[in-house]
Structure 1
Amino acid sequence: MKIVVIGGSGHIGTFLIPRLVRAGHDVVNVSRGQRSSYVDDPTWRHVRQVTADRAVEDREGTFPDRIAGLRPDAVIDLICFTPDSATALVERLRGQTGHLLHCGSIWRFGPSLKVPVTEDNGAPPVGEYGIAKAAIVHLLEEETRSGGLVTTSLHPGHIVGPGWHPVGPLGNFDPAVWHKLSAGEPIDVPGIGAEFMHHVHADDVAQAFEAAVVHRDAAAGEAFSVVAPSALNVRGYARIAASWFGQIAVLRPVTWDDFRRDNDGDAARTSWEHLVRNHYVSIDKARALLGYAPRYEPEDAVLESVRWLIDHGRLDVANPLTV
């Protein structure tokens, strides 16, 4: 098939596009062209690159025509964030493209009421990003149910892999936590550290998209959560991470008020946004309908990311990894 990937130079596309090429597809990557993939792969030589600024062209109303003009059999949209953008693309591709696959987020679910969170029992979303992602899911499902364009949405957790910082044990991207853990220094934890974060390796997300392309009929009109087989809570994540440096995590419970006072405002807000959701998400549906079989446990995916950052001088730690 001819598959157009929108935003394929990012986390997921780094692994997805080589998978599609190796499977024999004719692949076009539409991106701003400002960054190469995070991991080198010779298959990129066989990918047609199209430079486009999605945000600008969405405002001008020209982006859907650009994608339709490539005459794809399937479109994988990794960078759609608003219902208006999704609607415009759906209406232009209806009747011309066989399958539209959308990348959502587990943040389409709000703070957990019951775990594991399934596609059917998730709480209503909170925050602009999650509300928008949930609205896109609804419009895509309605489009397919009404006999229009065949669509599928896949919803990753916190994506990790080589080349970028993972969501850390405190639910933010502050690299200081890794220095403290590697040195055996105390870590202030808001609450008791029982909140879950659900990571997923970028290649496992790529695997799910590839499976949805292959199993188009089973995926038609469906939404799937795509995460690691298990989830880490704050205290477990910190203890596992400290052990990578031969240390024992020293965790000091503090109130959220104290945590906000003693941490950078952006970092504290990011921690709250991740931890208040307390996401531990089921992959049973993706396993049953797509054959999704993630290779990485969350700690293995995070370790790969941390190792890459250390090896490339992008993370300051007090002691070397022992694993």
Structure 2
Amino acid sequence: MRVVVIGGSGHIGTFLVPRLVRAGHDVICVSRGARAAYADAPEWRQVRQVVADREREDRDGVFGDRVAGLGPDVVVDLICFTLESATALVKSLRGEVGHLLHCGSVWRYGPSDRLPISETTGTAPVGEYGIQKDRIARMLKEETASGGLVTTSLHPGHIVGPGWHPVGPLGNLDPGVWFTLSAGQPLAVPGSGAEMMHHVHADDVAQAFERAIEHRDAAAGEDFNVVAPTALNVRGYAHIAAGWFGQTASLESVTWQEFREITTPEHAAMSWDHLYRSQCCAIEKARTLLGYAPRYEPEAAVLESVHWLVDHGELDVARSLVV
């Protein structure tokens, strides 16, 4: 089939596009052309590249028609963030394309009140990003249920992979957290330390998209959580990460107000966004209907990312990794 991947040079596309080529598909990557994929692969030489500024073309009302004009059988949309943009794409593809797959987020759910969170038990989303992702997923489900375009939405956790910084043990991207753990220094932890984060390797997300394309009938009109088999809480994540450097984590509990006073507003806000939600998601639906079989536990996925950052001089640590 001809598969158009919108945003194909990003985290997920880095792994998805080569997978689709290996599966025998004719793949077109639509992106701004601002960067190459995070990891090179020989399959990229068989991929047609189309440069497009989605934000601008959405404003001009032409992006959906541009995608439809590529003649795809399947469209994978990895960079849609508003209901308006998603609705415009559906309108252009309806009757022209056999399957539209959308990348959502587990932040379509709000703070957890029961765990694990299934596709039907999540609380209402908080924050504009999660609200929009939830609205898109609901619109797509209704579109297919009403006899329109066949759609599927997949909702990853915190995506991890080589080439970018992972969401760390405090739920933010502060590189100083890794130095502190690698040095065996005390780490100030806001909250109880029991708050959860659910990571997933980018290649496992790519696997889920590939399986959904393969199992179109089972995926039609459905939404799926796409995460690692297990989730990490703050203190467990910190202890595991310290061990990678031959250290034992020394954790000091602080209030959120104290934490905000010792870090930047950006890091504090990101920590709150992740830890306040405290999410752990179920993947039984994806396992059953798609055959989703994630290869990475969360700590293995994060370790691969940290190894890459250290090896490429993009993360300052006090001691070398011992694993």
- Quote the offset at 1:308 in angstroms: 0.1
TM-score using structure 1 length? 1.00
Secondary structure of 2:75's counterpart equals strand
Offset of residue 191 of structure 1? 1.7
Aligned residue for 1:230? 230
Partner residue of 1:248?
248
Paired with 2:96 and 2:39, the residues of 1 have a C-alpha distance of: 33
Determine the structure 2 residue equivalent to 1:298. Answer: 298
2:153 paired with 1:153: yes
TM-score, structure 2 as length reference: 1.00
Alignment of 1:282-321 (within 5 A): 282-321=282-321
1:42 match: 42
**Pairing 1:275–2:248 present:** no
- What's the offset of the Cα at 1:194? 0.3
Deviation at 1:72, TM superposition (A): 0.3
Q: Deviations over 1:206-253 (max 9, x none)?
A: 000000000000000000000000000000000000000000000000
- Tell me how large the CA RMSD over aligned residues is: 0.3
Query: Does residue 64 of the first structure (1) align with residue 61 of the second (2)?
Result: no
**Aligned residue-pair number:** 323
Letter in 1 for 2:283: I
> Equivalent residue of 1:296, what SS?
coil
Equivalent residue letter for 1:158: H
Runs of 4 or more above 3 Å deviation: none
Alignment of 1:131-170 (within 5 A): 131-170=131-170
Query: Which whole-Å CA distance do the structure 2 matches of 1:54 and 1:176 have between them?
Result: 35
1:92 corresponds to: 92
Letter matched to residue 133 of structure 2: K
Superposition map of 1:58-207 within 5 A: 58-207=58-207
Q: What is the CA–CA distance in structure 2 between the aligned matches of 1:192 and 1:117, rounded to whole Å?
A: 20
Q: What amino acid sits opposite 1:142 in the alignment? A: E
Distance in 2 (CA, whole Å) between partners of 1:236 and 1:225 is: 23
The CA distance in 2 between the partners of 1:92 and 1:38, in whole Å, is 30
Alignment-mate amino acid for residue 176 of structure 2: A
Which residue in 2 is equivalent to 1:6?
A: 6
Q: Deviations over 1:258-287 (max 9, x none)?
A: 001111000000000000000000000000
Q: Distance in 2 between matches of 1:120 and 1:277?
A: 16
| Structure 1 residue 154 displacement after superposition | 0.2
Which amino acid is 1:50 matched to?
V
User: How far apart, CA to CA, are the structure 2 residues paired with 1:191 and 1:198?
Assistant: 17
CA distance in 2, matches of 1:253, 1:295: 33
Q: Which residue of 2 aligns with 1:27?
A: 27
Unaligned 5+ segments in structure 1 are none
- Inter-partner Cα distance in structure 1 for 2:81 and 2:161: 22
Once residues 191 and 232 of structure 2 are traced to their aligned partners in structure 1, the CA distance between those partners, rounded to angstroms, is: 16
Note the C-alpha offset of 1:290. Answer: 0.2
Q: CA deviation at 1:103?
A: 0.1
Unaligned regions of 5+ residues in structure 2, if any? Answer: none
Q: Deviations over 1:87-136 (max 9, x none)?
A: 00001100110000000000000000100000010000000000000000
Q: Is the counterpart of residue 55 in structure 1 residue 55 in structure 2?
A: yes
Q: Deviations over 1:25-70 (max 9, x none)?
A: 0000000001000011000000000000110100010101100100
1:210 match: 210
**TM-superposed deviation, 1:192:** 1.9
**Sequence identity (%):** 71
Query: 2:276 is matched by which residue type in structure 1?
Result: V
SS of the equivalent of 2:12 reads helix
Deviation sequence 1:134-188 (CA, Å, 0-9, x none): 0000100000000000000000000000000000000000000000000000000
Which residue type is aligned with residue 287 of structure 1? R
Q: Does 1:15 align with 2:15?
A: yes
SS class of match (1:270) = helix
